[in-house]
Amino acid sequence: MHNYTIPGSVKERVLRRKGQPFSLTSIDAARAALVVVDMQNHFVAEGFPSEVPVARDIVPNINRLADAMRAAGATVIWIQTTSAGALERWGNHHRYGLTADRVNRRLASLAEDAEGFQLFPALQIAASDLRVKKIMFSALVAGSSDLDNLLKERGIDTLLIAGTTTNVCCESTARDAMMLDYRVALLSDACAAHTDEEHAAALNNYQLFFGDVMTAEESLARLAPARGKAA
């Protein structure tokens, strides 16, 4: 797992900007969702095309978070990248941003009937959880998924973001969430990137300008159970 510590200079700037370390001092479970991004075989399992080895290390934290969120009455959402519609809606990325070989492997591995599309087997999924398919890095950019509508229908305004990779799909989704006026925290020990440097850079920049960065424990300590749920 990544060993992340908030640099002193970032702490100081966050305090000057927000007046406190975290904007999310309390999380109302009834209005909150754990959004787990791209924990699919394609990105997590050994030997798959876009494997992030550290992503396997965060599985226990994600499972613990999901259990606690469900128990408190919050929503758990699993985001899965699909290649269906990718060439039509995101053609330039595939034409100019990737080699032809990478495009072919990506499209095949993320087809919805492929093993790469499936969620990593060690994740503990509940029947009550929601699943959302996205096409682009961000789940909340227009044309990528129906996540924004789903959240609004359920009155959810607070998101805890976990998954992989920290600096691509997690950060992209978290940034767009903030721009759509959600309250957001990136979870430092429940996100994974290819390198410690990429992980830290994304987290540092996110908390400076977009939202909170906290650990799984720090987020759960702020979780207020929905009415009728045990503490």
Per-residue pLDDT at 228 exceeds 80 = no
**Listed residue (92, 82, 94, 77) closest to 33, CA to CA:** 77
Write down the pTM of the prediction.
0.96
Residue 157 CB neighbour total at 10 angstroms:
17
Integer Cα distance of 170 and 222 in angstroms:
21
State yes or no: cis peptide before 165, omega within 30 of 0. yes
The confidence score (pLDDT) of residue 227 equals 83
Domain locations in the chain? 10-224
| H or E element that contains 28 | strand 27-28
Q: Positive or negative CA dihedral for 22, 23, 28, 34? A: negative
In whole angstroms, give the CA distance from residue 160 to residue 43.
20
3-state secondary structure 138-162: CCCCCCCCCHHHHHHHCCCCEEEEE
- For 177-198, write each residue's pLDDT tens digit: 999 999 999 999 999 999 999 9
pLDDT in tens, 152-167: 999 999 999 999 999 9
CATH 3.30.1330.10 is the classification of domain 10-224: no
- The region that residue 227 occupies, defined by phi over 0 for left and psi between -120 and 50 for alpha, beta otherwise, is beta
